[in-house]
Amino acid sequence: MQNQSSEARKPVIFSGIQPSGTLTLGNYIGALRNFKLLEDDYSCVYCVVDLHALTVRQDAAQLRARCLSLAATYMAVGLNPDKSLIYCQSHVSAHAELAWILNCYTYMGELSRMTQFKDKSAKHADNINSGLFTYPVLMAADILLYQTNLVPIGADQKQHLEITRDIGQRFNSIYGDVFTIPEAYIGKVGSRVMSLQEPTRKMSKSDPEETYISLLDKPEDIRRKVRRAVTDSDGDIRFDFDNKPGVSNLLSIIAALTGEPVERIVNELDGKGYGGLKARATDCVIATLEPIQAEYNRIMADKAALQAILDRNALEASRRAARTLDKVKRKVGCAPHGKA
């Protein structure tokens, strides 16, 4: 269990992850594996944001399964649910409650400027619901509830963090220092993993299956995907992202997973051709994912234990969130209740 007094003094890191399918090797190299290193110095909160997922139509059974699977993946890569809070957003009603209140401090105009809203409404033209519109307010509530100092985010979420800061500052300027104003966490520059088929684009799970490696891919799938990865025709193994993005991507995957400098890998592969490069990349990926998958399978085999961890952490999250929410309710003038 978290030690409350020492937890309280550590800076808070909050990360929300949508349960929208398996995470990729890109998520692992770029973010997940660094999260483990933060556990001792920060109070980390990893929230499976199932309420955010509802902004697009979901299959209920699949979404339920994905929530558990994502939580298990977090633990499988080594995050410790006794040190970090790993829980599901919908288990802590304070998220939705604070989101409502913050909606009343957020302007239509600023939400209309969100590029993700514009993109998503173009993509789901038949379902432009208000949840999609107020999505950033729920995200602001997630972050502000825990007095978060730092939020690890990619470029696509920068605008949402900006609006979170704006809403928090607006609220503070009316009511005093209620919220900590969060900043982006720029971690150790994890290398960016690119698509195996279009190596100038980021590897993404919303692209076709053959372009990414999922953390749960079987060895034969990994072998096939890497074998088919796009390279180039000059046959030369060297790191040159502008002219040789495919080869450079494979080299940086190997470098990231082995910790070896790229130059040494290039030397070792001298004369082995692209076949040798791909074989090396395949071996590294399989060797990395095997223990993660074994751990994932172990966790998923005992759903009751997994559920108990999530329940226990949701309780702790609710306790922490209530401190902020109670204060907010009092400040804005919600009806007092007996216990206060």
Q: Which of 7, 10, 11, 18 binds ligand TRP (CB under 6 A)?
A: 18
| Alpha-carbon torsion (260, 261, 267, 270), positive or negative | positive
Catalytic residue flag (residue 218):
no
3-state secondary structure of 267: helix
Side-chain-side CA neighbours of residue 42 (13 Å)? 25
Question: What does each C-alpha distance from 160 to 18, 156, 171 come to in angstroms?
Answer: 15, 8, 17
By beta-carbon proximity to ligand TRP, the closer residue of 16 and 26 is 16
Structural tokens at position 180: 């900590």
By beta-carbon proximity to ligand TRP, the closer residue of 25 and 137 is 137
Catalytic residue flag (residue 278):
no
Question: Do residues 246 and 230 touch, judged by C-beta distance below 8 A?
Answer: yes
52 binds ligand TRP (CB under 6 A): yes
Tell me the sheet residues that pair with 85.
45
Question: How far apart are CB 200 and ligand TRP at their closest, in Å?
Answer: 22
3-state secondary structure of 238: coil
Catalytic position from the list 10, 123, 158, 202: 202
- Candidate segments 11-19, 106-114, 224-232, 258-266, binder of ligand TRP by CB under 6 A: 11-19
Tell me the number of residues near ligand TRP by CB under 6 A. Answer: 13
By beta-carbon proximity to ligand TRP, the closer residue of 49 and 250 is 49
13 DSSP 8-state letter: E
Question: How far apart are CB 25 and ligand TRP at their closest, in Å?
Answer: 17
Question: Do residues 47 and 142 touch, judged by C-beta distance below 8 A?
Answer: yes
Which residue of this chain has its Cβ atom nearest to ligand TRP in the complex? 16
Q: Which of 15, 55, 248, 313 binds ligand TRP (CB under 6 A)?
A: 15
75 binds ligand TRP (CB under 6 A): no
By beta-carbon proximity to ligand TRP, the closer residue of 90 and 258 is 90
Question: How far apart are CB 325 and ligand TRP at their closest, in Å?
Answer: 16
By beta-carbon proximity to ligand TRP, the closer residue of 18 and 197 is 18
241 DSSP 8-state letter: T
**What DSSP string runs through 48-80?**
E-HHHHTTS---HHHHHHHHHHHHHHHHHTT--
Structural tokens at position 126: 């038949």
129 to 168: interface string for ligand TRP, x by CB under 6 A: ----------x--xx-------x-x---x--x--------
Strands of 183-184's sheet, edge to edge? Answer: 85-88, 43-48, 12-17, 150-151, 183-184
Catalytic position from the list 10, 36, 205, 331: 205
288 vs 217: CA distance, rounded Å = 12
By beta-carbon proximity to ligand TRP, the closer residue of 16 and 81 is 16
Chain residues in the site for ligand TRP (CB under 6 A): 14-16, 18, 49, 52, 139, 142-143, 151, 153, 157, 160
Active site residues: 120, 202, 205
